[in-house]
Amino acid sequence: MAKLILIHGAWHGAWCWRDLLPLLQKQEIQFIAEDLPGSGQSTYEGEITLDAYVTSIEESLKEVDEPAILLGHSMGGMVASLVAERNSDQVKKIIYVSSVLLKDGQSWAMTRVKNVGSTLNHYVVPSQQTGFAEVDPKGLRESFYHRCSEEQIEFAHRYIRPQAKGPFETPIQLTEKNYGNIPKYYIRCLQDRALVPEFQIETSLATPCKEIFEIQSDHSPFFSASKELAQIVGQVVSDE
């Protein structure tokens, strides 16, 4: 069974997988879940760039003896795409969870116009840290966690960190030869207020996916729908 590398989204860290990982362990799925540079408990002191993110996941790939499966949540999906492009012989599949499947030459920022109705539009504010953005605490529940428990929300509040803007503004280069030949799976979160379902549907249809799943969750299925998410991930991991 291929090893799973989990890539978290913006403002988050590997801590977001807390409730999902035990469910993956029950299925005997091996995984790696690390903080991206500048996220979670990362002590990275360099510039936070998309390349820095990719390099950190490439380090995880070096720990794996056979092609791995990448799972990217939200912004993590963009990272997964670029890792797969640059290391196509080491990536078996990509699982996108409420993410954007960027095209060659696109940046995440270029797609924001399509995310009509996202509550994040009202709550993302500049950070005191130059080049970073934060989510107004009032908007965390509404944007990310409105189907989560109070304990889960309080847990997330403790670990949320400012997010570097640079990775969102960086266009990515993808080719059919590398990225295009890797099987892709997409998990739509139908109650998502951060990346609205209409945009998820559009992006998951614009790039060919081997299979598309849907769950009734907010933007954080690793908390609010961890059992359903684990079941789907297990299905994809075992799909040969």
Whether residue 240 has pLDDT greater than 80:
no
Q: What is the pLDDT of residues 117-140, one digit of tens each?
A: 999 999 999 998 899 999 999 899
pLDDT (0 to 100) of residue 11: 98
Work out the average pLDDT over 187-205.
98
Tally the domains of the chain: 1
Q: What is the pLDDT of residues 23-37, one digit of tens each?
A: 999 999 999 999 999
How does residue 1 score in pLDDT terms, banded at 50, 70 and 90?
confident
- CATH number of the domain at 38, please: 3.40.50.1820
pLDDT (0 to 100) of residue 2: 83
Which range of residues forms the domain containing residue 143? Answer: 4-238
Strand 184-189 with 211-215, pairing? parallel
Instruction: State the pTM of this model.
Output: 0.97
Cβ neighbours, 10 Å, residue 109: 13
Work out the average pLDDT over 67-95.
99
Q: What is the pLDDT of residues 138-191, one digit of tens each?
A: 899 999 999 999 999 999 999 999 999 999 999 999 999 999 999 999 999 999
